[in-house]
Structure 1
């Protein structure tokens, strides 16, 4: 499924909070890890007439310092039997990560929400945000916390896959099966449908228009929620049966009734050490927004890692 794992670092403790998850997945899938760090130097114009003469020396020194900052992480991963490659590139951090990911579309990028810039009022750092909205690669996003990283023995016992019945949302299924199999984790497929109050409000709002359509009966809120429950049960049974063919560690389906899809996903995932696997878009399709609104909210407000599939 993945050819390697790419982990962007910047010398900060926050960025390194992604390492335990990168280590877990790389070791489980037996794939190498690229540790990537961007660096910068003064442009030749600032250095004066001799700028071009010393630029190579400055670049070499900056590259060595960047590689030295990554060496502790390299040693930690290598101690676990993981092959590690250090990549130090001059340029803006987001552009460097995007370029590195672009070399191999099958690479999984594992990245923390915040790095050197620290945790501010923004729920996701600008570098992570730009990378997320640019690369086509699958991307595992880990929430940065002031309390420190997950332990080296981090485990993920459950993989949560939100589905809405669309083909787009089901693009997450093979990724979930692959990762869950490698981690020996069980899979929970999750479908969320509207509440009675939602249908009451919607029917009240559109009844005048619907009344103009001959012989059209939209049904009562109770009938619509019952229909949702029946459809969700049948759909989840079909999906879980298909997934169980390739996954021996348990697949279950859960139907949740809620008008806040993102919050329901977050609450379900926080019940135990979990990984959420979801696509950028579902039933609403790929519209003008680069990232679907539900996926975006889950990424920004969840305390569990989220694997985003385009």
Structure 2
């Protein structure tokens, strides 16, 4: 089971509530529990110089009642729900709660009641990305949420780049969607090498670049075909191979062309490895995609637990994990 504990941070706004449908959908497919969390700012963490104690207690009671109503709605879907109201700085409390409750996935909107700003994400979301180290799903407000009667996403675009990180991610998404009427679309974008210079490239250089791209295309074609066969186990799997100069833009464009409901990516790519919170391509797709994006973090403890091999059907690059002492 990919996710066992899903955190849904809410700030009381209708915008933040747009993530509920997605959290419910994932929880259904994984048999996971949902944690509803609201962080109430104290006087020390508020822009206000002082907070009336009576007003503060009333507000806390209102928040508890608000979360309880949402919990009742989610419980009706036969999903286990935990409700919590905490005090302090939102991002810090969310990260702390993730550790305490062993959260696997955080689902939230790109911004909450603070509204749209010149930045791609609200300040709390950005801090959580950096500090939680968990998988997360980012939802753009205003995008039609899945129907509450819907049992799964109909079409999921899975961005792969040949790295062990993306292979692990693809296996996990396939395992999560097993038995559902879903189509997985594997996408690999072959990047056209940049050759920045003042003068146009020569004919020989152009030929060399074309040969390089063609070699990568052939390798990717074979790779995607093998990967699709590995993942096809009661699930419809197809693939797309795109040659482009901008990989992130191509991922977003292909998602729109294929009319998918969800984009799934690994937080890491070939360039970033596992040393950064997330790679540049993942960050860019998150910033610009109007479609919900599921970003998986293959944390060391997950690899060591052997979850990537539990389903039995996914045998792509197992040597990567054994060579790195993780199974």
Same fold (TM over 0.5): yes
- 1:88-140: CA deviation from partner (whole Å, max 9, x where unpaired): 11111111111111224452211111111012232211111111121122111
Distance in structure 2 (CA, Å) of the matches to 1:257 and 1:218: 15
1:256-295 equivalences in 2 (<5 Å) = 256-270=242-256, 271-286=258-273, 289-295=276-282
Name the structure 1 match of 2:86: 89
**What SS is found at the alignment partner of 2:273?**
coil
Does residue 135 of structure 1 match 2:132? yes
CA RMSD, aligned part only? 3.1
Q: CA deviation at 1:153?
A: 4.1
Distance in structure 2 (CA, Å) of the matches to 1:153 and 1:98: 31
- 1:44-66: CA deviation from partner (whole Å, max 9, x where unpaired): 9x999xx9xx97x8876554232
CA contact (8 A) 1:139 1:308 kept: yes
Q: Which has the larger radius of gyration?
A: 1
Q: CA deviation at 1:36?
A: 0.5
Does residue 152 of structure 1 match 2:133? no
Does residue 240 of structure 1 match 2:219? no
Q: 1:135 to 1:179 in 2, by over 3 A?
A: same
Does residue 21 of structure 1 match 2:18? no
**What SS is found at the alignment partner of 2:21?**
helix
Q: 1:106 to 1:67 in 2, by over 3 A?
A: closer
Does residue 253 of structure 1 match 2:216? no
Q: 1:133 to 1:225 in 2, by over 3 A?
A: same
What is the aligned residue count? 290
CA contact (8 A) 1:199 1:221 kept: no
Structure 2 residue ranges without an equivalent (≥5): 298-327
- 1:273-295: CA deviation from partner (whole Å, max 9, x where unpaired): 42211112211133875321110
Q: 1:114 to 1:150 in 2, by over 3 A?
A: farther
CA contact (8 A) 2:19 2:139 kept: yes
Q: State the TM-score, normalized to the length of structure 2.
A: 0.78
Structure 1 residue ranges without an equivalent (≥5): 212-216
Does residue 224 of structure 1 match 2:221? no
- 1:232-253: CA deviation from partner (whole Å, max 9, x where unpaired): 1111122222222xx3111222
Does residue 7 of structure 1 match 2:12? no
Q: 1:106 to 1:148 in 2, by over 3 A?
A: closer
Q: 1:261 to 1:92 in 2, by over 3 A?
A: same
